Amino acid sequence: MPKVSDLFDVQYGHSLELNRLKRANRGEGVAFVSRQMGDNGISAWVEHVSGVDPAPPGELTCALGGNGVLTTHLQEQPYYTAFHVARLIPLVSLTKTQLIYYALCIKANRYRYSYGRQANRSLKELEVPPINAIPPYVASTDLDQFTGRDAPLSDDPLPRLDTTSWRPFTLGKLFSIKKGKRLTKANIKPGHTPFISALDSNNGLRQRIAEKPRHPAGVITVNYNGNGVAESFFQPEPFWASDDVNVLYPRANMSDAMSLFVCAVIRFEKYRFSYGRKWNLSRMRQSVISLPASAAGEPDWDFMGTYMSCLPFSSTLRNAANQFGR
């Protein structure tokens, strides 16, 4: 097996301090790459530093220590680095997908490190697959599949969100609320139906099961129990909900965008509940949330839909509706 140093020239980065640099607007200036795990390692955008040339695009950066040790990213624009960030300069010709593959291979070694064991000396010695052993799916991966997904659904300007004019509405009057049904592990078999449980991520989806759906697409699930209490998700396809989840059937005709607006509002109620105070069915029916209101005092569903359609990434709402035949 080749080592990282067989494929990359491993160098220390610029070791710059962000508090000594002049900030630039996001997407402008030079990317500043730190040891953070998210956002491709870019923690800020800064103005060009006199006498310091940015590193060129097409290189990998690797965190040598900290909580994100060995987190590796492909940089696609000129960049500076903070302390304890390495530059991995390809010694051979590698495609974009191959560079990302090697970034993931390096990151897969994170379990070997901690705050007490950094990677500044051992990074070069890590073994990685040879180029001829890269799986075929790497070359066939479509890296542009999400291009344009950050666009809004509407070209209209984002309406002003003035919460001072919102009015209170009881959830039980806006929705018919039903409790999920218990399903034990012993009775769960792999299948195609989404099984929604009290998770706080992944839209509540724990797994797909062989049971028939008990709830239709186009409704909202709210966790009333567990660590994710009050997490609210819009469900785009028929599903089964666990008994830790309540299902909200809208009494009005609501679009996907309107439902997502309500989900966001419901999540703001999270601070009211805990393991000791669950958001059970009867309590949820009596709970009150504030929403934009029309002159007649009814929920202003049109405003909610318009607002959501003007947000970045809202163009994916149309794609989701087409995917699930709605």
Beta strands 8-12 and 85-90, pairing class: antiparallel
At residue 197, the 3 state secondary structure works out as coil
Beta strands 219-223 and 167-170, pairing class: unpaired
pLDDT tens for residues 82-107? 999 999 999 999 999 999 999 999 99
**Among 41-45, 121-125, 274-278, which is the least confidently predicted range?**
274-278
Residue 321 has pLDDT above 80, yes or no: no
Residue 318 has pLDDT above 70, yes or no: no
Would you state the pLDDT for residue 103?
Answer: 97
Q: Give the count of beta carbons closer than 10 Å to the beta carbon of residue 288.
A: 12
Q: Binning pLDDT at 50, 70 and 90, where does residue 322 land?
A: low
- Phi, psi angle pair for 7, to nearest 5°: -110, -20
Q: Give the count of beta carbons closer than 10 Å to the beta carbon of residue 289.
A: 16
**Fold exhibited by the domain 163-323:** Adenine-n6-DNA-methyltransferase TaqI; Chain A, domain 2 (3.90.220)
Helix H or strand E encompassing 176: strand 175-179
Residue 323 has pLDDT above 70, yes or no: no
More confident residue, 226 or 50: 50
Q: Give the count of beta carbons closer than 10 Å to the beta carbon of residue 221.
A: 26
Residue 209 has pLDDT above 80, yes or no: yes
Would you state the pLDDT for residue 233?
Answer: 97
Q: Is 234 exposed, middle or buried (0-12, 13-18, 19+ CB in 10 A)?
A: buried
CB 48, CB 29: distance < 8 Å: yes
Does the fold of domain 163-323 match that of domain 4-140?
Answer: yes
Would you state the pLDDT for residue 26?
Answer: 82
d(CA 308, CA 315): 10
- Left if phi > 0, otherwise alpha if psi is -120 to 50, otherwise beta: which for 225? beta
CB 299, CB 171: distance < 8 Å: no
Which amino acid makes up residue 87? R
The per-residue b/e assignment along 46-84, b for 16 or more CB within 10 angstroms, e otherwise, is beeeeeeebbeeebbbbbbbbebbbbbbbbebebbbbbb
pLDDT tens for residues 34-83? 999 999 999 999 999 999 999 999 999 999 998 889 999 999 999 999 99
Would you state the pLDDT for residue 154?
Answer: 86
Handedness of CA 182, 186, 187, 191 (dihedral sign): positive
Q: What would be the CATH architecture of the domain defined by 4-140?
A: Alpha-Beta Complex (3.90)
Residue 182 has pLDDT above 60, yes or no: yes
CB 59, CB 90: distance < 8 Å: yes
pLDDT above 70 as % of the chain: 96
Residue 279 has pLDDT above 70, yes or no: yes
Bridge partners of 10, per DSSP, are 88
Each domain of the chain, given as residue ranges in start order, spans 4-140, 163-323
Residue 183 has pLDDT above 60, yes or no: yes
Would you state the pLDDT for residue 56?
Answer: 97
The per-residue b/e assignment along 308-325, b for 16 or more CB within 10 angstroms, e otherwise, is bbbbeebbbbeeebeeee
pLDDT tens for residues 128-165? 999 999 999 999 998 888 788 788 888 889 999 989 99
**Among 98-102, 228-232, 259-263, which is the least confidently predicted range?**
228-232
- Phi, psi angle pair for 185, to nearest 5°: -60, -35
d(CA 290, CA 288): 7
